[in-house]
């Protein structure tokens, strides 16, 4: 059953990407965009020279659009061609020239020290792969930051909240309260980051319905 549901989740990100926004809105109490946007609190503020931001797995392009509006120079990659099409369409509707590519985080098609910041919101297992961390450090400028929004903890209760917890769990996401298991996973991830050239800091941002976990990896 879990494999079947995970397959359905994969389809939602590819062949049924046109349903993604609707489903994401339903399973987040309407806060999906807000949860992703918590990453923006940890990006260096725009200055005379626009900070270059790489969004990894940009999805339908909502955060990408927000980055443009706030004065950043965003570039995005995603391995799903359907998500690429959706994001391009959304940006062009706002007269924004998309700077998007179909690529993998395991092999970023960019030169060394190309970006001031990297962002990944609700990524899958690829985010902790050695190739991903090596590539992230390679394309970041010195003291650049890699911001990851790995999970949320729903703060509501009731039957619907219970259902959402279950859906997140079987699709490989985390939506439960802080637990020793989740803390151990975070500590294990943090412990290995020095090997890849990062300092690690964990933050929590509260919204109306959730506590959003944000990891900030600083290039050293």
Cβ contact 119:41 at 8 Å: no
Per-residue tokens: 87? 């994001």
Cα angle 53-192-35, degrees, rounded to a multiple of 5? 40
Q: How many CB atoms lie within 10 A of CB 112?
A: 9
Residue located via tokens 């930051």: 145
Cβ contact 72:46 at 8 Å: yes
Predicted confidence at residue 50, as pLDDT, reads 87
Predicted confidence at residue 21, as pLDDT, reads 63
Tell me which of 50 and 7 has the higher pLDDT.
Answer: 50
Model confidence at 2, pLDDT cuts 50, 70, 90, reads: very low
Q: What is the DSSP string of 24-70?
A: HHHHTTT-HHHHHHGGGGGSPPP-SSPPEEEEES-TTSHHHHHHHHT
The whole domain housing 171 covers 2-219
pLDDT at residue 213 is higher than 90: yes
Task: Say how far apart CA 205 and CA 214 lie, in whole Å.
Answer: 7
Predicted confidence at residue 210, as pLDDT, reads 87
Tell me which of 187 and 29 has the higher pLDDT.
Answer: 187
Taking only the tens place, the pLDDT of each residue in 10-41 is 656 565 556 666 666 666 677 878 999 999 99
Task: Say how far apart CA 62 and CA 87 lie, in whole Å.
Answer: 8
Taking only the tens place, the pLDDT of each residue in 126-160 is 999 999 999 999 999 999 999 999 988 877 665 55
Cβ contact 52:119 at 8 Å: no
Count of domains for the chain: 1
Mean pLDDT across 72-92: 93
Q: What is the CATH number of the domain that holds 15?
A: 3.40.50.150
């Amino acid at each position: 059953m879990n494999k079947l549901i995970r397959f359905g989740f994969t389809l939602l990100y590819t062949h049924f990407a046109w349903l993604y926004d609707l489903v994401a809105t339903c399973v987040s109490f309407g806060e999906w965009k807000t949860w992703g946007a918590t990453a923006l609190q940890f990006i260096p503020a725009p200055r005379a020279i626009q900070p270059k931001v790489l969004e990894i797995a940009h999805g339908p392009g909502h955060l990408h659009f927000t980055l443009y509006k706030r004065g950043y120079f965003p570039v995005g990659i995603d391995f799903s061609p359907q998500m690429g099409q959706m994001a391009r369409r959304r940006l062009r509707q706002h007269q924004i020239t998309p700077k998007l590519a179909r690529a993998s985080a395991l092999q970023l098609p960019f030169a060394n020290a190309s970006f001031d910041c990297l962002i990944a919101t609700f990524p899958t297992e690829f985010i902790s792969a050695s190739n991903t961390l090596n590539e992230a450090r390679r394309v970041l400028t010195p003291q650049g930051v890699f911001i990851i929004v790995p999970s949320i903890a729903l703060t509501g209760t009731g039957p619907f909240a219970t259902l959402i917890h279950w859906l997140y769990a079987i699709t490989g996401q985390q939506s439960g309260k802080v637990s020793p298991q989740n803390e151990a996973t975070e500590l294990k991830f943090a412990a290995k980051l020095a090997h890849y050239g990062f300092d690690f800091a964990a933050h929590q941002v509260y919204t109306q319905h959730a506590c959003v976990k944000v990891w900030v990896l600083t290039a050293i």
